Amino acid sequence: MSDDYSLSIRCVANTCLPTKWGKFRALGFERRADCKLETAVALIMGDVMSGTPLVRIHSECLTGDVFGSQRCDCGQQLNWAMQAIAKEGSGIVIYERQEGRGIGLMAKLKAYELQDQGFDTVEANERLGYDADLRDFVLPANVLRLFGITQIRLITNNPQKIEALEGAGIKVVQRWNCDVDPSPDAISYLLTKKTRMGHILSSV
């Protein structure tokens, strides 16, 4: 196993987080890699140590998760996942600080400007000098391994996320589709994810 997947993380906070979906434990994690500090929050409901937990790994999207942007489906996916976990009675949401598929908030807004001019999300990132997706999933994989979890049911439409987790030793035994009803403003964004990035979407 690569050193990238060593348990080089630490839990820096552990508290109760009551939400409209029920009570979660909120654990804050840090990982130092390549001279930078990576952070993530794990929201845990119920007993996730027995059986195969339901897991959502969600990349931060300030515009969608907080401001309710209709340009993407991120906020809808997060809500769907938390509802699904609450209905299940247990599960984990790992919220990773990788805004704009890893390019950061300001670059993401610049990419939006380019999309306003007719470029798709992949083209916009590339014109700014970035890859289409800069994310890795080392930190959430390490969080799961820290809990002794090696098999999960994953809420995702992104096959690359499954590949990354399995490369880190986390077996995805089942994929739960997270295909929400898209806003008209999100159709072109979702079509790009489907046709250029291989996301599994039936809504577009």
Active site residues: 133, 135
Q: Which three-class secondary structure string do you get for the chain? A: CCHHHCCCEEEEEEEEEEECCEEEEEEEEEEEECCEEEEEEEEEECCCCCCCCEEEEEECCHHHHHCCCCCCCHHHHHHHHHHHHHHHCCEEEEEECCHHHHCCHHHHHHHHHHHHCCCCHHHHHHHCCCCCCCCCCHHHHHHHHHCCCCEEEEECCCHHHHHHHHHCCCEEEEEECCCCCCCHHHHHHHHHHHHHHCCCCCCC
